[in-house]
């Protein structure tokens, strides 16, 4: 291909990186080999699709308005196995979080206790008969906590809530 009386080798070069003199010489010749040129309507459609996907990704309750139950909060599920809690300890920042226990021991009628490490009682949970999983939203103050089960002293999960 001859451009401005100089021979240049034919190569795949993106249109974005080309100099204006090369762009002027390509007018009316179509795209370079191996390149695709998107029309104006397709570009607008791509931008509209990108905007729509971005708006869908933003939580609707992020501005603090609306139903407080529709806000997205972090969650943590602890699995109780015959060997104990998994994980046996975790750390979370201060704030609301969904806490769950999935009972995979095969035992029913378990009695869970959440206490501060200092001994202060925070919560007692006794799932209903036939209920194997438990979920509740907590907003614990910073400190160290212990989750345990009354009949099995070796089943212990240590929880640390940090100030931030």
Domain ranges within the chain, ordered by starting residue: 2-57, 73-162
Cα 58 to chain centroid, rounded: 12
Q: How many CB atoms lie within 10 A of CB 99?
A: 21
d(CA 146, CA 122): 10
Are the C-beta atoms of 63 and 85 separated by less than 8 Å? Answer: no
d(CA 149, CA 132): 14
Give the global pTM. Answer: 0.56
CATH topology assigned to domain 73-162: Immunoglobulin-like (2.60.40)
Residue 109 is predicted with a pLDDT of: 85
SS3 44: helix
Order of all β-strands in the sheet with 152-162 = 89-93, 152-162, 143-149, 112-116, 121-125
pLDDT tens sequence across 8-61: 455 444 444 444 444 444 455 555 555 455 555 555 655 665 555 555 555 444
Q: Which of 112-121, 126-135, 142-151 has the lowest mean pLDDT?
A: 126-135
SS3 42: helix
Residue 45 is predicted with a pLDDT of: 58
Beta strand 97-103 with 133-138 is antiparallel
Selection from 131, 39, 149, 25 nearest residue 84 by Cα: 149
Cα 10 to chain centroid, rounded: 47
| Better-predicted residue by pLDDT, 81 or 67 | 81
């Amino acid at each position: 291909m001859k451009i401005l009386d100089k021979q240049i080798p034919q190569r795949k070069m993106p249109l974005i990186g080309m100099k204006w003199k090369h762009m002027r010489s390509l007018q009316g010749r179509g795209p370079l080999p191996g390149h695709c040129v998107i029309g104006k309507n397709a570009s607008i459609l791509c931008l509209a699709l990108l905007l729509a996907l971005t708006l869908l990704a933003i939580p609707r309750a992020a501005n603090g308005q609306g139903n407080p139950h529709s806000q997205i909060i972090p969650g943590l599920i602890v699995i109780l196995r015959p060997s104990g809690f998994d994980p046996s300890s975790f750390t979370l920042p201060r704030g609301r979080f969904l806490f769950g226990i999935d009972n995979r021991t095969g035992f029913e009628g378990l009695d869970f206790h959440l206490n501060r490490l200092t001994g202060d009682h925070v919560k007692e949970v006794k799932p209903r008969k036939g209920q194997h999983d438990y979920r509740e939203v907590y907003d614990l103050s910073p400190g160290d906590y212990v989750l345990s089960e009354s009949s099995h002293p070796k089943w212990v999960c240590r929880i640390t809530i940090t100030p931030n």
